[in-house]
Amino acid sequence: MLTRFFIIAFVVAWFFFITASLLSDGQLSTFSRLLIFIGAISPGLVAISLRAITKGSAGVKLLINKISFKDTKIVWYLFAFTFIAFIKGLAALIFFLLYDSWPQFGTTPWYVMLFGIAVSMWAQAGEEIGWRGYALPLMSKKFGLALASILLGIIWAIWHLPLFYIAAADTFNQSFPLYLLQVTGLSVIMAWLFWKVNGNLLPLMIFHAAINNTKDIVPSAWKASASPFTLNASPIGWISVVLIWVVAVYAIYAMIRKPTATISS
């Protein structure tokens, strides 16, 4: 079922992403943005469909019920909400120590970021139900949670690749190798968080939304290159990735110490 899930998730999402790219002419129309949105939430839709086929409505209910307000300590919500903002702030400080000047800071007001997180966290269910709710538990039983989180991170990053070819997207011809390292590190941390909250998807949805809405506190975007397969990226981008992997290495260590650690499917 895992292979089937990944194949369908890629085919469906890439169809919408590539169609949006073909329809865009230097800028994304409302329709193109809608296509990208459908592609973005498609892993969850694919997971729900496969679960319905194999386990019926009861199986779907168990999958959806992983989004819960119960039995999760507030500290994990705070971690999910603040992690990437903390990483970006620390990256800015390290940049200052290295270059004796501050990097460029974003201009988005904090209340807009908060609103963005509050609204978009529900859209992130479209990815998280698929990646962490459906795929990760099955992968963890086969590979162990630590290795599964790394493999899923690589798959997750590659799934985004068409977005690096859409001229109007903020990922256009940015460094995909840097992105791959970043997303894989974040996948490890998210798997660790998912394990710590006993398979509750809600903190993961907040974590994902916070990444998308607070990453530009200190932007990592660099001038577009001729190809996304470049190592040419901003110092802030590389510093952020190193900091993410410091935490990811700890998460891997914590999960390896519990070799039987899995997440209920």
SS3 126: helix
pLDDT band at residue 1, thresholds of 50, 70 and 90? confident
Poorest-pLDDT segment among 73-82, 170-179, 182-191, 251-260: 251-260
> What does the pLDDT look like over 134-155, one tens digit per residue?
999 999 999 999 999 999 999 9
Q: Given 3-state DSSP classes, what are the helix, strand and coil percentages for the chain, each rounded to the nearest 5?
A: 75, 0, 25
Q: Which amino acid is at 140?
A: S
Residue 153 to residue 185: CA distance in whole angstroms: 7
pLDDT band at residue 168, thresholds of 50, 70 and 90? confident
- C-beta neighbour count of 101 within 10 angstroms: 7
Closest-CA residue to 221 (of 183, 177, 187, 175): 175
- Confidence check: pLDDT of 262 > 80: no
What are the b/e assignments for 62-100, b being 16+ CB within 10 Å?
Answer: ebbebbeeeebeeebbebbbebbbebbeebbebbeeeee
Are 88 and 240 within 8 A, CB to CB? yes
> What does the pLDDT look like over 207-219, one tens digit per residue?
999 999 999 999 9
Q: What is the mean pLDDT of the chain?
A: 93
Residue 226: predicted pLDDT: 77
> What does the pLDDT look like over 35-91, one tens digit per residue?
999 999 999 999 999 999 999 999 999 999 999 988 899 999 999 999 999 999 999
pLDDT band at residue 260, thresholds of 50, 70 and 90? low
